[in-house]
Amino acid sequence: GKAKENLKNHPKVAEDISITRYGTASFIAKKVTQITPLEKGKKIEEKLDKIFLHKLWGPFTTV
């Protein structure tokens, strides 16, 4: 698809992906901690796992 074509033209793909993955994970973690007090609900890791395993968001966040 179009994404693969763009990857070929991008010189620092691995570097950018790792930065994006870290940025996405930290952003999600901040949002999750703002929304849910830690005493209640599930651990952040479990919430992140749900996001990473999600059919739509998983492929974007775990490239």
Q: Where are the domains of the chain?
A: 2-61
Neighbours of 17 (CB within 10 A): 14
Tell me if residue 42 falls in helix, strand or coil.
coil
Q: Which residues contact 63 (CB under 8 A, 6 or more apart)?
A: 17, 20, 21
Which amino acid, residue 60?
F
How many whole angstroms separate alpha carbon 2 and alpha carbon 9? 11
Greater model confidence, 63 or 46: 46
Lowest mean pLDDT among 1-10, 20-29, 47-56: 1-10
pLDDT single digits (tens) 12-36:
766 676 667 667 777 777 766 665 5
